[in-house]
Amino acid sequence: MGLTNNDIFKKLRVAHKLRDDDIIKICSLVDFKVTKSELGAMFRNENHPKYMECGDQILRNFLNGLVIHLRGPMPKKEKPIPKNKKTD
């Protein structure tokens, strides 16, 4: 049996020593809103009645935000200036 999105999310949270507030800030870096109660539901035991499955969208947005959090925003690419053709 493989890892679920919830397992991956929990392992990343522990590995990076993140608190709920940190995760909310990281998700906001990619304009994704998540609440403390949603996070609490995802980090619960699977047998708990208020357990919530972590969907692909939540994990994807968290991972994208985590990249920005760890590396900083991606620098803007400058458009190359076309070389002028010389006329004789």
pLDDT tens-digit map of 9-49:
999 999 999 999 999 999 999 999 999 999 999 999 999 99
For the chain, the average pLDDT equals 90
**Domain carrying residue 55:** 20-71
- Asked if the structure places residue 76 within a domain, the reply is no
Listed residue (32, 18, 26, 21) closest to 69, CA to CA: 26
- Asked if the structure places residue 44 within a domain, the reply is yes
What number of other Cβ atoms are within 10 A of residue 62's Cβ?
Answer: 26
Model pLDDT, residue 78: 79
- Asked if the structure places residue 11 within a domain, the reply is no
- Asked if the structure places residue 50 within a domain, the reply is yes
- Asked if the structure places residue 5 within a domain, the reply is no
For residues 52-60, average pLDDT: 94
Q: Given 3-state DSSP classes, what are the helix, strand and coil percentages for the chain, each rounded to the nearest 5? A: 50, 0, 50
What number of other Cβ atoms are within 10 A of residue 3's Cβ?
Answer: 10
- Count of domains observed in the chain: 1
- Asked if the structure places residue 80 within a domain, the reply is no
